[in-house]
Amino acid sequence: MTKKAYARAGVDVDLGNLVKQRIQARVKSTHGPEVLGKIGGFGGLFAPNFSGMREPVLVASVDGVGTKLKIAFAMNRHETVGADLVNHCINDIAVLGARPLFFLDYIGAERLEPAVFDQILAGFTKACREGGCALIGGETAQMPGMYRKGEYDLAGTIVGVVDRAKMIDGSRIKPGDVVLGLPSNGLHTNGYSLARKILLQKMRLKLDAKVDGLKTSLGNELLRTHKNYQPLLAQLPPGAIRGMAHITGGGLVDNLPRVLPKTCDAIIETSSWRVPTIFEILAKNGKVDREEMYQVFNMGIGMAVIVSAHDSKPIAKQLRARAIGRIASGSGVTRLSF
């Protein structure tokens, strides 16, 4: 059968339609009664239930996975990066006290590979189900000439809601408060350009290598799934948290100031937790300055939660977190104590 002209140019519309038809059941598994209409329309429909909220505020965020995708390409494993994207987006709105409502994805690829697409969607839908978030739409673009063969890019948009009176904006943070750290699951989705340069170029390691101190292969370590902290945080009573920072690109150095009042500093005691081995390997072999490590990587802390000193111990126990610092008078910056 002769290929259509567009398919010969690298964009197979029929293949795209076939692949999209196969995802119906998987995507519907993330839907509740709020989702209206069918999959594949021009827009996703969501009828939210805001009962119990006096002044609902929508919270939106968009993000990507970055060069962690290069590890997924090399290992031909794609489900985890799909979950990474959803979880990262949920965490970004969770710091404001929001719960997720719905998620939309974008996949741009050199060519649509059904098996790869299926893995990515499996990651999206698994993370959406676990996060209580509906996957209501997306876009898949075949763009030959824009991407290398076998490569793709991912982006996601999330919309959530928080009652305005319960919004967490950092305004109640004051000197004497305690900074709690929730452990990360490895690199999450940040610092991969530097990590790849150190591990794969400088150290010349293979992704199936067994590295001293790591419990799994290097590739498995680098594909650990970005944690979703929102379900755990949502269990705390209203008002318990004074501020939160998702520790992504910029690390503790740049992310905590995003929620600090201009009159407060966060003093982080870096010896208060054990930095995971992968970060020690990167620092030693890359000869990366200690302060820069805490600006590029999460260093084992995926979410920072600021609470009153009085509440810090019971909240730390409930969150399975630890005290990693305190709030002091200052100018709105993070100060690392080594």
Model confidence at 37: pLDDT above 90: no
User: Over the stretch 210-228, which tens digit does the pLDDT of each residue have?
Assistant: 999 999 999 999 999 999 9
The C-alpha atoms of residue 69 and residue 196 are separated, in whole angstroms, by 11
Yes or no: say if 87 and 120 are a contact pair by the CB < 8 Å rule: no
Q: Bigger pLDDT: 278 or 10?
A: 278
Segment 170-193 shows an average pLDDT of 97
The C-alpha atoms of residue 289 and residue 278 are separated, in whole angstroms, by 15
Q: Look over the chain and give the mean of its residue pLDDT values, rounded to a whole number.
A: 94
Model confidence at 1: pLDDT above 60: no
- Residue 7's pLDDT band, with cuts at 50, 70 and 90, is low
User: Over the stretch 64-92, which tens digit does the pLDDT of each residue have?
Assistant: 999 999 999 999 999 999 999 999 999 99
Yes or no: say if 103 and 135 are a contact pair by the CB < 8 Å rule: yes
- Residue 208's pLDDT band, with cuts at 50, 70 and 90, is very high
Q: Which helix (H) or strand (E) holds 138?
A: strand 134-142
The C-alpha atoms of residue 283 and residue 300 are separated, in whole angstroms, by 13
- Residue 21's pLDDT band, with cuts at 50, 70 and 90, is low
Residue 15: its pLDDT value, please? Answer: 63
Domains of the chain by start residue, with CATH: 5-166 (3.30.1330.10), 178-337 (3.90.650.10)
Residue 228: its pLDDT value, please? Answer: 98
Indicate left, alpha or beta for 332 from its phi (over 0: left) and psi (-120 to 50: alpha).
Answer: left
DSSP code for 2: P
- Residue 24's pLDDT band, with cuts at 50, 70 and 90, is confident
Q: How far is CA 278 from CA 95, 185, 215, 290, 324, in A?
A: 26, 11, 10, 14, 20
CA dihedral 295, 298, 302, 307 (to 10 degrees): -40
By CB neighbour count within 10 A (0-12 exposed, 13-18 middle, 19+ buried), where does 196 fall?
middle
Residue 111: its pLDDT value, please? Answer: 87
**DSSP per residue over 224-254, as a string?**
PPPP--HHHHTTSPTT--SEEEE--TTHHHH
User: Over the stretch 289-307, which tens digit does the pLDDT of each residue have?
Assistant: 999 999 999 999 999 999 9
Yes or no: say if 63 and 85 are a contact pair by the CB < 8 Å rule: yes
The counts of H helices and E strands in the chain are 13, 12
Give which of 48, 112, 93, 111 is closest to 303, Cα–Cα: 93
The C-alpha atoms of residue 112 and residue 114 are separated, in whole angstroms, by 6
- Residue 20's pLDDT band, with cuts at 50, 70 and 90, is low
Segment 298-324 shows an average pLDDT of 98
Residue 289: its pLDDT value, please? Answer: 96
The C-alpha atoms of residue 143 and residue 9 are separated, in whole angstroms, by 10
Yes or no: say if 100 and 61 are a contact pair by the CB < 8 Å rule: no
Residue 203: its pLDDT value, please? Answer: 97
Model confidence at 258: pLDDT above 70: yes
The C-alpha atoms of residue 77 and residue 118 are separated, in whole angstroms, by 11
- Residue 4's pLDDT band, with cuts at 50, 70 and 90, is confident
Model confidence at 14: pLDDT above 80: no
